[in-house]
């Protein structure tokens, strides 16, 4: 048996706790039998790690300063927001609960600002409109439609569906670009190997013949000399630095 920490809604109230089950599906089934609408459920061990990461985030800053909310954070927020609104809870109460429940400090700040603005009399769509980097025009317009029609929960579910489709398309594009990227890298490595190891052998042969080389061949020889000299060292170091600059944000993202 494994322990799971859950958060959810029961009889219009926010509840949380732990439950034991063989897996997450059984845990979800048990909670549904107790008439609890699940908003979040994780294994207890993972939860502890998440809390530790949350504390590190609260202290602040990764390698690139204050961390911003990510697309994944917006998707998680949207799912939980839609679930709670569909359950019939007041929006201000929902935003207050989500502010305390979300793991991302950046997203917590955004949700709290939205809650305060809404409490001050600003419409919900205008509150979301303040953050175009997180909530695009489609997101805001669907909320406007929900406000106008009185079916906010329906339109929030449409938002979640649209975000999930968008993420699925992004993953497909990344997968499609992976193969050409690998092939391009292999081609560069093979070309560099040929210039450094193979071309010098032919260069010695041509030197012994004492003939004038064609322009294309001379260019290849010059490239070979460049790579075998300080130019090659500079290119290798530049490539390593470029690779590290690309990977550091990815590593930071994985840590989150």
- Helix (H) or strand (E) run with residue 41 in it: strand 37-43
pLDDT tens column, 131-141: 999 898 999 99
Is residue 66 classed as helix, strand or coil in its secondary structure?
coil
Q: What is the model's pLDDT at position 235?
A: 74
Q: Taking a C-beta distance cutoff of 8 angstroms, is the pair 163, 77 a contact? A: no
Is residue 123 classed as helix, strand or coil in its secondary structure?
coil
Going residue by residue through the chain (256 aa), what tens digit of pLDDT does each one get?
Answer: 788 888 888 776 777 888 888 888 888 888 888 888 887 888 885 444 445 455 444 444 444 445 677 888 899 999 989 988 888 888 888 899 888 888 888 899 999 999 999 988 899 999 999 999 989 899 999 999 998 988 988 999 999 999 999 888 988 888 888 888 888 888 888 888 888 888 887 777 777 676 677 788 778 878 888 777 777 777 777 777 876 776 555 555 544 4
Q: Compute the distance between CA of residue 10 and CA of residue 80 in angstroms, rounded to an integer.
A: 14
Could you count the other beta carbons within 10 Å of the beta carbon of residue 7?
18
- The stretches of 60-198 forming alpha helices (DSSP H) are 71-86, 91-101, 105-119, 124-129, 137-149, 152-193
How distant is the alpha carbon of residue 35 from its chain centre? 32
Residue from 129, 160, 165, 132 nearest 144 by CA: 129
Q: Show the CA angle centred on residue 16, arms to residues 15 and 20, nearest 5°.
A: 130
CA dihedral 226, 232, 238, 240 (to 10 degrees): 160
Q: Compute the distance between CA of residue 124 and CA of residue 126 in angstroms, rounded to an integer.
A: 5
In sequence order, the 6+-apart residues with CB closer than 8 A to the CB of 44 are 2, 3, 4, 5, 18
Q: What is the model's pLDDT at position 247?
A: 56
Q: What is the model's pLDDT at position 114?
A: 92
Is residue 35 classed as helix, strand or coil in its secondary structure?
coil
For the chain, what percent of residues have pLDDT higher than 70? Answer: 84
Q: What is the model's pLDDT at position 188?
A: 85
- Helix (H) or strand (E) run with residue 4 in it: strand 2-10
Q: Where are the domains of the chain?
A: 1-59, 178-255
pLDDT tens column, 148-192: 988 988 999 999 999 999 888 988 888 888 888 888 888 888 888
Q: Compute the distance between CA of residue 74 and CA of residue 127 in angstroms, rounded to an integer.
A: 15
Is residue 102 classed as helix, strand or coil in its secondary structure?
coil
Q: Compute the distance between CA of residue 227 and CA of residue 203 in angstroms, rounded to an integer.
A: 14
Q: What is the model's pLDDT at position 45?
A: 59
For residue 203, give both structure tokens: 């260069």
pTM for this one?
0.56
DSSP 182-204: HHHHHHHHHHHHIIIIIHHHHHH
């Amino acid at each position: 048996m494994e322990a799971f920490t859950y958060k959810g809604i029961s009889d219009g109230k926010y509840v949380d706790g732990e439950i034991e089950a063989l897996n997450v599906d059984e845990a979800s089934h048990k909670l549904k039998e107790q008439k609890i609408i699940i908003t979040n459920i994780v294994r207890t061990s993972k939860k502890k790690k998440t809390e530790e990461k949350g504390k590190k985030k609260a202290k602040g800053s990764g390698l690139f300063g204050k961390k911003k909310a990510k697309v994944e954070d917006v998707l998680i927020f949207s799912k939980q927001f839609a679930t709670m609104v569909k359950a019939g809870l007041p929006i201000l109460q929902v935003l207050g609960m989500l502010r305390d429940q979300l793991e991302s400090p950046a997203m917590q700040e955004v949700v709290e600002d939205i809650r305060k603005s809404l409490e001050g009399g600003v419409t919900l769509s205008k509150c979301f409109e303040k953050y175009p980097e997180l909530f695009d025009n489609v997101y805001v317009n669907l909320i406007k439609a929900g406000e106008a029609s009185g079916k906010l929960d329906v339109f929030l579910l449409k938002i979640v569906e649209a975000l999930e489709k968008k993420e699925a398309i992004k993953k497909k594009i990344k997968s499609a670009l992976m193969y050409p990227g690998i092939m391009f890298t292999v081609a560069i490595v093979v070309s560099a190997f040929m210039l450094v190891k193979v071309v010098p052998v032919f260069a010695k042969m041509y030197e012994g013949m004492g003939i004038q080389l064609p322009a294309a061949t001379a260019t290849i020889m010059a490239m070979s000399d460049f790579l075998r000299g300080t130019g090659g060292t500079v290119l290798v170091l530049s490539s390593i630095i470029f690779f590290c600059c690309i990977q550091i944000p990815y590593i930071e993202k994985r840590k989150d």
